[in-house]
Structure 1
Amino acid sequence: MSKRWIGSIAALALLLASASAVAGAFSKTYERIPGWDGAQMGALVLVPQGQGAGPFPLIVMPASWSLPNLEYLGRATQLASDGYVVVSYTSRGFWDSAGQIDIAGPDTVEDVSAVIDWALAHTPANPNAIGASGISYGAGISLLAAERDPRIKAVAALSGWADLEAALYSNRTVSQQGVGLLVGAGALTGRAGPDLAQIGARVAQGDYDGAVQGFLPQAASRSPATDVAALNARGTAVLLGNAFNDGLFPPNQTIAFFNQLRGPKQLLLSQGDHATAELPGALGLPNEIYTATTRWFDRHLKQLRNGVDAEAPVRLSPRAGQWLDYPDWASVQQATTQLGLSAPAGLLSPTGGLTGGTFSGWQSRIATDVPTVADSGVVLVSGLLQGIGLPVSTSIPLVNRAGAAVWVGSPSTSTRRLAGSPSLRVTVVPSQSKVSLFAYLYRMDGLGVAQLITHAPYSLRNATPGRAVTLDWPLQAAATEIPAGQRLVLVIDTRDARYTDASEGGGTVTFTSPVAAPSVLNVPLR
């Protein structure tokens, strides 16, 4: 990054900070902080003024992928005016920070500790009250740093990942839109290290599967789930926030990580897409997620008795301003209704049922690589629209039954709430060794117009053609209402523009329901 860019970012940072600051509440400076190896990190440093002698709790905020330290400026000013030392810095390899992008590798993670060292030496920060927080890339970095640095007592990780393989290669399927977005943004705003350069080269050739598969050996070392025991051993307080429709880091891998935590913890799942739920809060606007984050740090760094201890560890938001509280994730999943998949019937538009009980002995076949109007939407855009009440919609009567299997439930006799992770068990017989399947769960009105609730991909990459395979297939967590009169609809096809597709044309997939493992959909309904 040129000195001209560094100077521009510094000037803009100080201008914005001055505009939003409360006079006398804190100082703000742009600093060049040496990373663990001396590489200079561009940072905004905010220090309380006129709020006592200190020491003050410290919050370190690594910036998101492709974003500079300005990302958190609004929230940082509010924290500083409330008695926190805040260091918001651009992550290694991006914008005004030196070094190369190593995809949350050792260099990037060690930089957090180096920033803490600098803050303790140059500000009145309290060495016994240190937190780390970030969005997206900054969230994952914060968790990884907390596992390695015992000085970090509390973390607020928003729209981050816990298991990088589960996020990028969900059920052996790559989100080509998500990977393309990350690679493109990285190329525009930073300097790629070897791993990202290799991924980018393969993406440029259209080989999204190879790009991700080549990185998988590194994924475990970049995943907080790998060393969750370190957080548990120290009792680190961890708040996790995620969006139900996160197109980069879907919520189920975050939920699995949350379930492994043994210290103080809270999980917030809300509507929206990647980072859309909390980004307004980072800018300083009123925001439920960042309000919870600030209260989390007040409790675990300032030791304030502010009621956080009495709050539910699991909170789900079906819509803005409404939260459903649960003591743990098992309680979320407790009210599960099992719906059996019955044989699709009908000459022109074969459709099966979703009803109580189980059904076996039937078969239904679709062709592979046939487009249908069932789709998960566009990364970032569709989830953002869903967050403001405009979910992905389609017409179930128009779903091409040549390329999709469809099951429709009975009309709901009253308004029901779906909250949790639906799951599907279905037996398939592929005619090819490689096939990608995409399951969509909708709620449909009386006119056949359906709104997407959740979805998940599943790819078979080494199947034996003609041999039955029973899939235990979790769909991503969701929270919504099923109005009276509406029906649940399950659609499974073999193409989705969001994902890479292992399927080839000319093949078939036969759905069946053997007696030993009847095909069922489990839905957390209340």
Structure 2
Amino acid sequence: MAFSLPRSHRWLPGACAVLGALACAAPVQAQQLIGCRDATPAEAAFYSTPVIMPGVISPRDGTCYVKDLRITTHDGLKLTANVFLPAGATSGVAGGQKFPGVVYISSWALTDSFEYLGQQARMARDGYISVAYTTRGFWGSEGVISVASEGDIRDVSTAIDFMQAFTPVDAARIGTAGISYGAGMSLLASARDKRIRALAALSGWGNLSDQLFGNQVPNPTWTAVLLGSGQLLGRMDPAVVSMSRETLNPDATPEQAAAAMAWAVPRSPSAVVNQINANQPAVFIGKNWQDDMFSPNSTLALFEKLTTPKRISLQPGIHGSIELGAAMFDKPNLVWDQAHRWFDRYLKGVPNGIDAEPKVRLTTKFGNVNETLSTWPAPELKRNVLWVNPRGPVRYDWSCWCMKGLVGSMNPARGPFGLDTINNALDTTATTGPLPVLSVTAETIGLPVINHQDSILRDQGVRYEGPVLSQGMKIRGAPQVQLRVRPSQKRGMLVAYLYDVDALGWGTLITHGARAVHWATPGQSIDFSFDLNAIAYDVAPGRKLALVFDTADHLYGAPVRWGEAFSMTIEAGDGVSALTIPSR
């Protein structure tokens, strides 16, 4: 059957021009305005998918896809959108039946015209209505990219309004879903709109400040990716471009840094977690261990504060890599399969048991071991404290007929106090990966970042080795570095790498982290503790851990201008510095 859309409706002005003759063939009742027509015999004979034949009811499963829609925002902008309808919701005639619905919010630089088509088709086959839209400023959607601004979050509610006005959706059974940018906005919108009863936030963020300037360290690699793609495929707000570049400026003032952090606060789900908890949506989160754009630590901190029905899935992968292909093409996928079960439970009321399962599901890096934890923080985990003891000066020890001073130690016992100084004259072979983005992508397919520990320059790097592990160790979570340092000048940085080292000295990178200082008193001892990125990793028996520090890495923005020298003196021994590792 055909359908019509009134020209005067505030969400779809000029719908006949947008949708063509199909949209204006015949009038229907106002409470259901989006519909599709039956396939002709010729169309039915050659029918493949709803996406190939938009506006036509599938003769196979009764679903239908309507594209090239426009949603008008509260401030008059037009956002591109599409709708998938399940069998029974495609006629365009109000029949009284109501269906659960999900709004899909596009990722950064992506669009409704392709990003979620696979998942939308799957959901339609399972009885869901879905609306996907492109966020303002990208592709055909009007406006500028302001990064999860007030207007962006109101757009989520407008998309829900649109779904209620033009489809037979059940207003009590509405959810949202998104990858990356769409994930963050799903969480933020759930704090404002009580109609959101369940959501799936995949590869999103918890605290945007952590991603912009966490531990006073910017992320030049992924900032360049975001700015470049935003400027290529959208219209960036000049203020966003300026602010992003300011975070990379080593000469930024404390006031400028504070302004950037203040800008990030209302764009952070962690800042509105109380409102999310008050609204009680059921929150499903998907997070990838090697997500260097939005680290898992920030997401886990948010997850800990949620008192809603909640579940998190943690697995190897870089930002969005696990979810995106299945979103487009509807292939079997661990994360989306869990999200689908989540929506079935909380939007359809299916007693599938996911609400009674452990709240944390994880897959280990490289080993692909699947496990569950009851919640986060997990009571199943224990804390292993290794005290960082100094390497001291280079010397020959006749008692062991060996050189000492090349490496420090990490032991359950505290050693004598000492100082280890490194400088930034050169980088070392310790790295998060020799090729930005590509190296960490290779990790996700089983190609680790490897380094021989003896190749790390002594003057520019320092390593602390733990004892050989007779029983191995199952690392689960974020290793914590307790540290005191003495910067040689007001600004400097340490990058930390945790390695799994074999008997020959080859180390496999487990995880990493960094911290910088910009306004220190030169020579004054300061607390410099920080967390490494959370990970699930199994260290085999017979191997040992090594904690390495240097002063530079392409993933972490330097706090100094090129050629500017500094040194960092680490205080070790006497219980001053330690590495705490969560394990099960």
Range into which the TM-score falls when normalised by the shorter chain:
over 0.9
* Residue 15 of structure 1: aligned partner: 52
- CA distance 1:13–1:432, change in 2 (3 Å): farther
Distance 1:200 1:229, change over 3 A: closer
Matched residue of 2:342: which SS?
A: helix
Pair 1:327-2:374 in alignment: yes
**Counterpart of 1:3?**
none
2:74 to 28, 36, 45: 36
Equivalent-residue separation in structure 2 for 1:278 and 1:384 (angstroms): 14
The yes-or-no answer on 1:25 pairing with 2:81 is no
Q: 1:311 to 1:209 in 2, by over 3 A?
A: farther
Give the Å deviation of 1:471. Answer: 2.1
| 1:337 maps onto 2:384 in alignment | yes
Describe the superposition over 1:190-216 as per-residue Cα deviations: whole angstroms up to 9, x where unpaired. Answer: 01124324246769xx74885976532
- Give me the TM-score of the superposition, normalised by structure 1: 0.92
**1-side partners of 2:312 and 2:158: how far apart?**
29
Structure 2 distance, partners of 1:13, 1:388, is 33
Give the direction of change, closer, same or farther, for the CA distance of 1:16–1:442 in structure 2 (3 Å limit).
Answer: farther
Q: Secondary structure at the match of 1:218?
A: helix
Q: How does 1:85-484 map to 2 (within 5 A)?
A: 85-199=129-243, 207=249, 215-283=260-328, 284-319=330-365, 322-331=369-378, 334-345=381-392, 346-347=394-395, 350-377=406-433, 378=435, 380-484=437-541
**Partner Cα separation in structure 2 for residue 353 and residue 493 of structure 1:** 16
Q: Could you tell which deviates more after superposition, 44-53 or 97-106?
A: 44-53
Q: Distance in 2 between matches of 1:316 and 1:61?
A: 25
Q: What residue is the counterpart of 2:581 in the other structure?
A: 523
What one-letter code is carried by the residue in structure 2 that aligns with 1:123?
T
Q: Could you tell me whether the CA contact under 8 Å between 1:228 and 1:261 is conserved in 2?
A: yes
Deviation at residue 332 of structure 1 after TM alignment? 5.9
SS across alignment from 2:459: coil
Asked whether the equivalents of residues 280 and 286 of structure 1 are also in contact (C-alpha less than 8 Å), the reply is no
2:200 aligned counterpart, secondary structure? strand
Contact 2:436 2:554 (C-alpha < 8 Å) held by counterparts: no
Over aligned residues, Cα RMSD in angstroms?
2.5
| Contact residue 205 and residue 299 of structure 2 kept, 8 A | yes
Match of 1:66 among 104, 109, 115: 109
Deviation at 1:16, TM superposition (A): 8.3
Helix, strand or coil at the partner of 1:79? helix
1:490 aligns with 2:564: no
- Larger of the two Rg values belongs to structure: 2
Contact persistence 2:139–2:233 (CA under 8 A): yes
8 Å CA contact 2:188–2:268 kept in 1: the answer is yes
Amino acid at match of 2:272: D
How much does 1:99 deviate?
1.1
Question: Does the CA-based 8 Å contact 1:360-1:512 persist in structure 2?
Answer: no
Q: Unpaired segments of 5 or more residues in structure 2? A: 1-17, 20-48, 90-94, 396-402
AA partner of residue 144 (structure 2): Q
* Aligned mates of 2:543, 2:103 — CA distance in 1: 47
For 1:392, the aligned partner's letter is V
Preserved CA contact (<8 Å) 1:272 1:387: yes
Q: Deviations over 1:63-118 (max 9, x none)?
A: 00000111111111101111110111111110011111111101111111111111
CA distance in 1, matches of 2:119, 2:201: 15
**Secondary structure of 1:242's match?**
strand
Indicate how the Cα distance of structure 1 residues 250 and 152 shifts in structure 2: closer, same or farther if over 3 A, else same: same
Q: Indicate the SS of the match to 1:329.
A: coil
Q: Tell me which amino acid in the other structure corresponds to 1:395.
A: H
Shift of 1:379: 5.1
Other-structure match for 1:82: 126
Structure 2 contact 422–458 (Cα < 8 Å) conserved:
yes
Once the two structures are superposed, residues 362-411 of structure 1 have per-residue CA deviations (whole angstroms, 9 ceiling, x without a partner) of 11111124210111125543332222211222111101111011011122
- Residue identity matched to 1:507: F
The 1:196/1:22 distance shift into structure 2, 3 A limit, reads farther
Native 8 Å contact 2:453 2:506 kept in 1: yes
Of 487-496 and 389-398, deviating more is 389-398
1:233 CA displacement: 1.0
User: SS in structure 2 opposite 1:217?
Assistant: helix
Q: Report % sequence identity.
A: 34
- The question of whether the paired residues in 1 share the 8 Å contact of 2:184 and 2:205 is answered with yes
What SS does structure 2 have at the residue aligned with 1:71?
Answer: coil
Q: Aligned-pair distance for 1:13?
A: 9.4
Q: Is the 8 A contact 2:381 2:476 kept in 1?
A: no
Secondary structure at the aligned position of 1:140 is classed as helix
CA contact (8 A) 1:365 1:511 kept: yes
1:327 Cα offset (Å): 1.4
Q: How far did residue 19 of structure 1 move?
A: 12
CA contact (8 A) 2:101 2:130 kept: yes
Task: Answer whether contact 1:232 1:263 (CA < 8 A) is retained.
Answer: yes
2:570 corresponds to 1:511: yes
Give the drift of 1:451.
1.2
TM-score (norm 2): 0.83
**Once the two structures are superposed, what CA deviation does each residue of 1:141-181 show, in whole Å capped at 9, x if it has no partner?**
11111111111111110100111001221101001001111
Deviations 1:204-233 (A, max 9, x none): xx7488597653221001111111111111
Distance 1:209 1:80, change over 3 A: farther
Gap change, CA 1:396 and 1:53, over 3 Å in 2: farther
- The answer to whether the Cα contact below 8 Å between 1:243 and 1:271 also exists between their aligned partners in 2 is yes
